[in-house]
Structure 1
Amino acid sequence: MHRLTLQPQGIEVWLADRASLMELDFELHGQDSIPFGCRAGACGACVIEVLEGLPNLGNRQAQEAAFLDTLGYPDERFRLACQCRLTGAATVRVAARTGS
């Protein structure tokens, strides 16, 4: 089990090794969380900024990186939450919307 912390709420959840961050919907029972849209990496609703533990969310694939770049999030610390699998402790927050 690995700890995922959501900021600025300070919510901590424990997820199984390699769990998808989409499991937050079930773990938090409607609390303020990450907004998931398509759940397939195509809409950009779930862009997060990784504050700590970036290597613990898996590799950012080329297609995800290219899509994030078009959304205005070229930096490595931004991820699509629906594409992440937790392999260690991490702290994230929903990314501020860009002007794109």
Structure 2
Amino acid sequence: MALHTLTIASHQLEFQLPVNAPFTDIEYEAEGKNVIPLGCRVGACGACLIRVTSGLEALNPRDDDEEAFIEVLGYSGEEYRLACQCRIRGEVAIDIIG
């Protein structure tokens, strides 16, 4: 099974995730650390807002609901994502905003 690296630059951490795994899966590897703040896990609270610093093309695309909610939170630009909605498909680096 192919693994991809998710780098969380703001915490200087790296996680290995299988293709199409949700970012929420890092909870199982983070040894009790709340690395990405997670609230509702369905893209409705904004707690897990991130900025993708590299590898944006290695994520599933944002849907209209995610894009609209990020704008409500006051952010624009495709580099802003809700971590709970992201699935990894290559090497990705992020900063935690939420």
Scaled by the length of structure 1, what TM-score is found? 0.91
For these two proteins, the number of residue pairs brought into alignment is 96
Amino acid at match of 2:22: S
Once residues 32 and 55 of structure 2 are traced to their aligned partners in structure 1, the CA distance between those partners, rounded to angstroms, is 25
The offset of 1:8, in angstroms, is 2.0
Write the letter of the residue equivalent to 1:93: D
Equivalent residue, structure 2, for 1:92 = 94
In structure 2, the residue matched to 1:43 is: 45
* Structure 2 unpaired stretches of 5+: none
Partner of 1:6: 8
Where do residues 65-84 of structure 1 align in structure 2 (5 Å cutoff)?
65-84=67-86
**Equivalent-residue separation in structure 2 for 1:47 and 1:90 (angstroms):** 15
Runs of 5+ unmatched residues, structure 1: none
Q: Which runs of 4+ in 1 moved over 3 A?
A: none
Give SS of 2:19's match.
Answer: coil
Q: Deviations over 1:26-54 (max 9, x none)?
A: 11112351100000000000000000000
Work out the percentage of aligned pairs sharing the same amino acid: 42
Q: Given the two structures, how large is their TM-score scaled by the length of structure 2?
A: 0.93
CA RMSD of aligned residues (A): 1.0
